[in-house]
Structure 1
Amino acid sequence: MAEPARRPGGGGAPGERLGRSRGGFTAKLHLSADGRCRPLSLIVMAGQRADCTRFEPVLEKIRVPRPARGRPRKKPVSLAAGKAYGSGPRRQYLRRRGIRHSIPEKTDSQAARQRKGSRGGRPPGFDEDLYKKPNAVERVVNRLKQSRAVATRYDKRGYVYLGTATAAALINWLRT
């Protein structure tokens, strides 16, 4: 039987969600969290991939069940994110979905906008009060990594690791 094709530039087979880095094979856990530090959606990707490429898929996976009858909520009321997610396409995506956001502008984007003068447009809106809680995701990752299997990634396949991380997320939800 033929061995599955490897990705260009190294990394494991496509189902493993492993990427090559200086330290060896790695994986990233991309997630969204609510204000109470509970994970809402999880995605596992190869470690060398850029974080901003998983922004839209993570937001698309959000499903918050309603206490009464009805379909689950699919979009957050507001969003706080880091500078890495401050590009134009990400902001357009959030505007299109009607999600209020607070993302600081990158210094190089700010300089380019100011260089253009009046043609550069207005600076994007930034709500400092909303941005004060962006570390909720980091706190969720720290809680998930209290599970040894999530922290060290013993699982070879990406879907198995996602299942392990989901189990740790469920435990996190039950504790809060």
Structure 2
Amino acid sequence: MVDHGGVVRRHELTDQEWELLAPLIPRAKTGRPRVEDRRVINGMVYKIRTGISWRDLPERYGPWKTVYTRFRRYALDGVFTRALQQMQARADAAGDIDWLVQIDSTIVRAHQHAAAGPEKGTLQKDEPDDHALGRSRGGPTTKIHLACDGRGRPLAVMLTAGQRHDGVSARPLLERIRVPPIGRGRPRCRPDHVVADKAYASRGLPPQARHQPHHPEKRDQQRHRRNRGRDSGRPPRFDREIYRRRNTVERCFNRLKNFRGIATRYDKTATSYEAAVSLASFLLRARSV
């Protein structure tokens, strides 16, 4: 939303960002006139940026229930995930995606309001039973698994409970990379290279990614391979120069956590929190255009 002086307010969509997002927002064909789409989306962005509760949204974004209800509807419909994929499609068509894909995870502390969980009987079909919340000594946590391109722009995100091991999450995370083409054809799912740390030094990678991973081999795996002798097969591919670029994914996490609603989880359901991460990822991509 733009104020009367024509200046974009802090934590709101710029004109360029809105032009990219507007065609991807579902339009209601029937019913009474609703609150302006840009105004409502700005309320969602403001909430994720600041981490405030829905009830505390400034009045300039309209009724907070309207903003929340529409956000929840978009989360269940996967609107922000599709918007991110459409942005990726345009970038890939322009040759603006570096397919040296890097994967990693970060642990996010869940606020006590998120840990309370949704009411009984409200669990959605695609919602995990644990709501991607894990218990630890420090309290409830969620782990964000991220795949980004070589320029540090998000390609895919996935949530698990905080105690989930990275290695078993590599396959489903990489399978979420689906960059659709402009026009007809199959989406691109296969990276040129996959860069990861030792936590992914296992057979958890999908078959299409096993021949091009770049991660150091764990010492116990090195010892096991030496003990097997000629039957051990080839060691995993490791290019030290490529591996040095792994800090790109850490910088991507740092930018995502500039959103206070991402750095701390306030959403009770994994579906809503993942939608918030997808919206933040869309904004990171839009600001790199």
Matched, 1:90 2:209: no
- SS of residue in 2 equivalent to 1:133: helix
Matched, 1:110 2:222: yes
Any unmatched runs of 5+ in structure 2? 1-118, 122-127
Q: Contact 1:77/1:99 (CA < 8 Å) preserved in 2?
A: no
Higher mean Cα deviation, 63-72 or 164-173? 63-72
Q: Deviations over 1:113-156 (max 9, x none)?
A: 22333343332221222222122221111111100000011111
Which residue does the alignment assign to 1:8? none
Which residue does the alignment assign to 1:44? 159
- SS of residue in 1 equivalent to 2:159: strand
Any unmatched runs of 5+ in structure 1? 5-12
Q: Deviations over 1:16-68 (max 9, x none)?
A: 21110111110000110000101101111111111111111110010123456
- The 2-side partners of 1:69 and 1:98 are apart by 28
Which residue does the alignment assign to 2:136? 21
Matched, 1:60 2:178: no
- SS of residue in 2 equivalent to 1:20: coil
Q: Deviations over 1:79-133 (max 9, x none)?
A: 111111111x235x34x45752212111111122223333433322212222221
- The 1-side partners of 2:218 and 2:193 are apart by 20
- SS of residue in 2 equivalent to 1:111: helix
Matched, 1:73 2:191: no
Matched, 1:133 2:245: yes
- The 2-side partners of 1:49 and 1:90 are apart by 13
Higher mean Cα deviation, 33-42 or 115-124? 115-124
RMSD value, Cα: 2.2
Q: TM-score, normalised by structure 2?
A: 0.52
- The 2-side partners of 1:66 and 1:142 are apart by 29
Q: Contact 1:15/1:159 (CA < 8 Å) preserved in 2?
A: no
2:269 to 134, 157, 173: 157
Percent of pairs identical after alignment? 44
Which residue does the alignment assign to 1:35? 150
Moved >6 Å (runs of 4+): none
Flag the 1:26–1:169 CA change in 2: closer, same or farther, 3 A.
same
Flag the 1:146–1:119 CA change in 2: closer, same or farther, 3 A.
same
Flag the 1:36–1:68 CA change in 2: closer, same or farther, 3 A.
farther
Q: Give the structure, 1 or 2, with the largest relative contact order (CA under 8 Å, sep 6 or more).
A: 2
Max radius of gyration: which structure?
2
